[in-house]
Chain A
Amino acid sequence: AQSVTQPDIHITVSEGASLELRCNYSYGATPYLFWYVQSPGQGLQLLLKYFSGDTLVQGIKGFEAEFKRSQSSFNLRKPSVHWSDAAEYFCAVGGTSYGKLTFGQGTILTVHP
């Protein structure tokens, strides 16, 4: 069975500081991995996705993520956080780019001015 663990329920950073959100997955084959962001009262927006190839993927809004197969991890990073990045972030795993996804519990990001 596939699963995703996001160890941090809530993270607080100062504006301009760097950010890393952790994601560990369990999947029996080559995974498709995703990061989504959800602002209050909104749906989920895709930040980036990993299918194959280069293990460092770039996404929108200055985010990047690195796939580490040996650690079953797909951590999200941003070098300098903006106040507008405050939201909830979800990591997800699936067997294809378009099929069933399993989501982590989410990490709430608070940004202090």
Chain B
Amino acid sequence: DAGVIQSPRHEVTEMGQEVTLRCKPISGHDYLFWYRQTMMRGLELLIYFNNNVPIDDSGMPEDRFSAKMPNASFSTLKIQPSEPRDSAVYFCASSFETYGYTFGSGTRLTVV
């Protein structure tokens, strides 16, 4: 299995631009999570899905952030418009019952 696949690995964008991060979970996993990691705040859960349905989006910082999961094999996290304070590493993870989480390698976002 290729694991959880995130793209791109690195993204540099200008303030005000739209950014889309992508995630392909492990086949058969029915939970998908988006986390953000920064030095100041550590790992924060942004949103998670179960069977493609958003369950808890209370961690999404503001309306500029949105996430979708149109099918079991793909999810996106979009930031529009982006701001410098959104610079972070964004991780996607998927899980299934007792097998626990598998994390992707992350997307390092830099907003200049």
CA of A56 to CA of B33, assembled, Å: 28
- Asked if B56 is an interface residue, CB under 8 A from chain A, the answer is yes
Which of A36, A44, A98, A106 is the one whose CB lies under 8 Å from B95?
A98
Q: Which of B22-36 contact A (CB under 8 A)?
A: 31, 33
Task: Check A97–B48 contact: CB distance below 8 A.
Answer: no
Chain B residue at minimal CB-CB distance from A45: B103
- Asked if A101 is an interface residue, CB under 8 A from chain B, the answer is yes
Q: In whole Å, how far is B53's beta carbon from the nearest beta carbon of chain A?
A: 14
Interface residues of A (CB under 8 A from B): 34, 36, 41-46, 49, 51, 90, 97-106
Q: In whole Å, how far is B75's beta carbon from the nearest beta carbon of chain A?
A: 16
Contacts of B97 in A (CB 8 A): 97-98
- Could you write out 15 A-B pairs with CB less than 8 Å apart? A34-B100, A42-B105, A42-B106, A43-B4, A43-B104, A43-B106, A44-B101, A44-B103, A46-B101, A98-B100, A99-B48, A99-B95, A101-B33, A101-B45, A103-B42
In the complex, which of the residues B31, B42, B91, B93 has the most CB atoms of chain A within 10 Å of its own CB atom?
Answer: B42
- Asked if B74 is an interface residue, CB under 8 A from chain A, the answer is no
Chain B at the A interface: SS class: strand
Q: Which of B43-100 contact A (CB under 8 A)?
A: 43, 45, 48, 56, 91, 93, 95-100
Chain A residue at minimal CB-CB distance from B31: A98
Contacts of A100 in B (CB 8 A): 33, 45, 48, 56
Chain B residue at minimal CB-CB distance from A103: B43
**In the complex, the 3 A-B pairs of residues with the closest C-beta atoms, listed nearest first:** A43-B103, A98-B95, A103-B43
Contacts of B104 in A (CB 8 A): 43
CA of A33 to CA of B93, assembled, Å: 17
Contacts of A97 in B (CB 8 A): 95, 97-100
Q: In whole Å, how far is B29's beta carbon from the nearest beta carbon of chain A?
A: 9
CA of A46 to CA of B101, assembled, Å: 8
